[in-house]
């Protein structure tokens, strides 16, 4: 497995290798158990913080790396090569939660939360509801002003990191008549009165990553925990998710790389008709297709991330990067299962898990159909 040297600086290569080495040494031995138990190892989360990959863009004064967005992308990709459940935990922490608090939080919120997010607190991003998936702003969760606080009522669904998180960015509407302009973002701590984490979903893939229901029953949130401004939650959500697409793209590139590496190793070792199946031209052509698709998706994701860091408009690159990388991850994993033959359909080998994990990329943080719609709108505008 290799990454084109021209794409990364020496520092970036060193960081990427550090995360890859950690993933191989500490994460890989736990992957099967975490998948079977649908439970993320708590000690491993502590090690993520010690490795400084939970506060990559957080300023140094708050204990973060004060690195760029691209560095987060490298971490997500490297972890996802071994376990996409780990990749998405780090992705949500950095590209959604930390990103939003750093960008829209005030000085008091920075002081209260950034040090915790870089050292001990997992974060979660709570937008989706039963009736607002792709229609993200059809929110039923309400926030009513009551003196020095707001009272939140409603339910959130499919919230990544829900079981582990201590801080949740929660979107609720303060004025239904105002439509999306009534949506506001709140910083909700796990211990706030009236807030509980509900059931954890039993999923097809990324099973170690918790996906939970959140329940708000007269939940009291202080006014000082409004993120940004009242009524500007839609702006925070849109702009954060635009960047989040690139993070999911990196997760998909990681899955594709992991599946390709596993497949390549297998076809070299597996013998049929007296020789390695890697010697058959039909297998070689499939490997060539896998490698080409993988590098194309990686270049798209890296390009979108670089554009974001440069301050340039990256929206036209982010949606295609997520769309293509998620499709390619599934395709590469599918070819891998076939090349493993009967072994690919068993849990004894890693390829079936990559295959299960890949499907989510076409669903969360904007389905493939929504990406197509976004791309078409931008082209026709």
pLDDT tens, position by position, 86-99:
999 999 999 999 99
Buried b (16+ CB within 10 A) or exposed e, 248-287: bbbbbbbbbbbbbbbbbebbeeeeeeeeebbeeeebeebb
Is 365 an active-site residue?
Answer: yes
Residues of the chain with CATH 1.20.140.10: 235-380
DSSP state of 132: B
Q: pLDDT tens digit string along 131-183? A: 987 887 789 999 999 999 999 999 999 999 999 999 999 999 999 999 999 99
Give Cα 181 to chain centroid, integer Å.
Answer: 27
Q: What predicted TM-score, i.e. pTM, was given to this entire model?
A: 0.96
- Does the pLDDT at position 4 exceed 70? no
More confident call, 195 vs 134: 195
State whether residue 52 is helix, strand or coil.
Answer: coil
Maximum C-alpha span of the chain:
79
Nearest-angstrom CA–CA distance, 55 and 50: 10
Q: pLDDT tens digit string along 258-303? A: 999 999 999 999 999 999 999 999 999 999 999 999 999 999 999 9
Contact 361, 330 (CB under 8 A): yes
Q: Does domain 5-122 match CATH 1.10.3720.10?
A: no
How much is the CA Rg of the chain, to the nearest whole Å? 21
How confident is the model over 345-353, as a mean pLDDT?
A: 97
State whether residue 134 is helix, strand or coil.
Answer: coil
Nearest-angstrom CA–CA distance, 62 and 54: 12
- CATH of 124-230 given 3.10.100.10, 3.40.50.720, 3.40.630.10, 2.40.110.10: 2.40.110.10
- Does the pLDDT at position 47 exceed 60? yes
Reference 265, options 251, 278, 283; nearest CA is 278
Contact 55, 62 (CB under 8 A): yes
Residues of the chain with CATH 1.10.540.10: 5-122
Nearest-angstrom CA–CA distance, 305 and 312: 10
Nearest-angstrom CA–CA distance, 197 and 242: 27
Nearest-angstrom CA–CA distance, 168 and 185: 10
Catalytic residue among 77, 129, 243, 365: 365
Give Cα 319 to chain centroid, integer Å.
Answer: 15
pLDDT number for residue 5: 46
Reference 53, options 102, 14, 80, 19; nearest CA is 19
Nearest-angstrom CA–CA distance, 333 and 191: 41
Percent of the chain at pLDDT > 90 equals 95
DSSP state of 344: G
pLDDT number for residue 353: 98
Nearest-angstrom CA–CA distance, 137 and 148: 26
Residues of the chain with CATH 2.40.110.10: 124-230
How confident is the model over 7-16, as a mean pLDDT?
A: 93
The CATH homologous superfamily to which domain 235-380 belongs is Butyryl-CoA Dehydrogenase, subunit A, domain 3 (1.20.140.10)
């Amino acid at each position: 497995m290799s990454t084109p040297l021209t794409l990364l600086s020496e520092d970036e290569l060193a960081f990427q290798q550090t995360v890859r080495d950690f993933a191989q040494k500490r994460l890989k031995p736990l992957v099967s158990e975490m998948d079977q138990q649908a439970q993320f190892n708590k000690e491993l989360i502590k090690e993520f913080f010690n490795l400084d990959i939970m506060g990559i863009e957080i300023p140094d004064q708050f204990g973060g790396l004060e690195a760029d967005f691209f560095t987060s992308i490298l971490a997500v990709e490297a972890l996802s090569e071994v376990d996409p459940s780990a990749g998405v935990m780090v992705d949500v922490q950095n590209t959604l939660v930390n990103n939003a608090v750093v960008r829209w939080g005030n000085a008091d919120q920075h002081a209260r939360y950034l040090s915790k997010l870089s050292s001990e607190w997992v974060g979660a991003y709570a937008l989706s509801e039963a009736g607002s998936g792709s229609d993200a702003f059809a929110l039923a969760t309400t926030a009513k002003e009551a003196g020095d606080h707001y009272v939140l009522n409603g339910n959130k669904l499919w919230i990544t990191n829900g079981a582990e998180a201590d801080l949740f960015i929660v979107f609720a509407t303060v004025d239904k008549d105002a439509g999306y302009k009534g949506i506001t973002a709140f910083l909700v701590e796990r211990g706030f009165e009236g807030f509980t984490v509900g059931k954890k979903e039993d999923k097809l893939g990324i099973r170690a990553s918790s996906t939970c229901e959140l329940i708000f029953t007269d939940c009291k949130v202080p006014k000082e925990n409004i993120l940004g401004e009242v009524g500007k939650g839609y702006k925070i959500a849109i702009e954060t998710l635009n960047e989040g697409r690139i993070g999911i793209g990196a997760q998909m590139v990681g899955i594709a790389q992991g599946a390709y590496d596993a497949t390549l190793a297998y076809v070299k070792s597996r013998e049929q008709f007296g020789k390695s199946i890697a010697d058959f031209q039909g297998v070689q052509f499939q490997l060539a297709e896998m490698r080409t698709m993988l590098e194309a998706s990686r270049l798209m994701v890296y390009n979108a991330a670089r554009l974001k860091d440069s301050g340039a408009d990256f929206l036209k690159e982010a949606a295609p990067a997520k769309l293509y990388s998620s499709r390619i991850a599934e395709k590469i994993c599918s070819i891998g299962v076939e090349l493993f033959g009967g072994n690919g359909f068993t849990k004894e080998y890693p390829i079936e898990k990559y295959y299960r994990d890949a499907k989510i990329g076409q669903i969360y943080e904007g389905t493939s159909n929504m990406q197509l719609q976004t791309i078409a709108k931008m082209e026709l505008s």
